[in-house]
Amino acid sequence: MRNPVPRFRDVERQAGGLQPAQCLPPCHERQNNMWFIRDACGIVCAIITWFLVFFAEFAVLFIMLIPSKNLAYSLVNGTLFNSLAFLALASHFRAMCTDPGAVPKGNATKEYIESLQLKPGQVVYKCPKCCSIKPDRAHHCSVCKRCIRKMDHHCPWVNNCVGENNQKYFVLFTMYICLISLHALVMVVFHFLYCFEDDWTKIETHQTRQHFSSLQLSNFECSSFSPPATVIILILLCFEALLFLIFTSVMFGTQIHSICTDETGIEKLKREDPTWEKTPLWEGMKSAFGGPLSVSWLSPFSDLSCRKDDSAPVPVFPQGEIIEEDVIEIPLEPN
């Protein structure tokens, strides 16, 4: 049986006279404060991610592009691949070091609740783990040890939660990794088709080990390495590119679908009934990527647009003792 008392969890979005920007630190404060999760598993996964990108760089440059005699082919593909790899790593860094939308810890105080000026009969919820007033659509992350606004999931590959403040960078990261994986696969196919026939023919003409040892690596047309070593490196590159192409394309599609439907991954997993007014598709895209459609949508260096509000801000860290109750009901006014 449902509680007749109105359930009020999204105190920051629905409270009368209270705007979302008032409950967040100022934009310049959020940008200057470095966010980094000290989680061993996440740090190792992030290092592995960068290592795999640099391995792909090595294979593409030193196996396929630099030894190529077609200068135009090398310049075009080298510029494109390195640009996408740079944007992918920049997006990864921003997704990892951006506050995903953490709710201030320890703000579940009587003074803070009074400052919200809630209506009588409304109910707010306190997270018992981080002692913060828990807005609607916020979930507690056991790794970050914080409640995260519009938390989609915690991703160890970026060593951070994916929330309302860094979802754009995570989407760009998956998109650029998907693109460089596809680009690497295409270049590997061309390399196998046009290079190995000539190089392996040279090896077959030298049947004995003495003849093979006398064969200079400079005689190979498409690689600075011997054909067997080149094949091994390119097979590893193919495996890596195919794996990440599938993984990131699925993640990219999932994130875009979540933005368009205004429903996070956790909400879908828990099958929560939406208690909020869903944002239209295009408005959701503009909110997630920081404004109207522009080139900045594709840039990991552009920040999300900040809403300006001239009213007096609500203190983020109010003083006072933390309330023990996990469910706080605003008392009704006496008749």
| Token output for 38 | 């000290």
Query: Quick one: how many helices (H) and strands (E) in the chain?
Result: 11, 7
Give every CB contact of residue 122 below 8 A, 6+ residues apart in sequence.
6, 8, 329, 330
Element (H, E) at 278: none
Find, among 287, 296, 256, 279, the residue nearest to 101 by Cα: 287
Contact 107, 113 (CB under 8 A): no
* CA separation for the pair 22, 146 (Å, rounded): 20
CA distance 185 to 167: 27
Residue keyed to tokens 């519009």: 150
Please tell me the distance from the alpha carbon of residue 125 to that of residue 133, in angstroms, as a whole number.
6
Q: Quote the strand ranges of the chain, DSSP E.
A: 123-127, 132-133, 138-141, 146-149, 153-155, 160-162, 327-329
Residue 155 annotated as catalytic: yes
Residue 245 CA to residue 241 CA, distance in Å, equals 6
Catalytic entry in 23, 141, 155, 178: 155
Q: Is 333 exposed, middle or buried (0-12, 13-18, 19+ CB in 10 A)?
A: exposed
Enzyme catalytic residues: 155
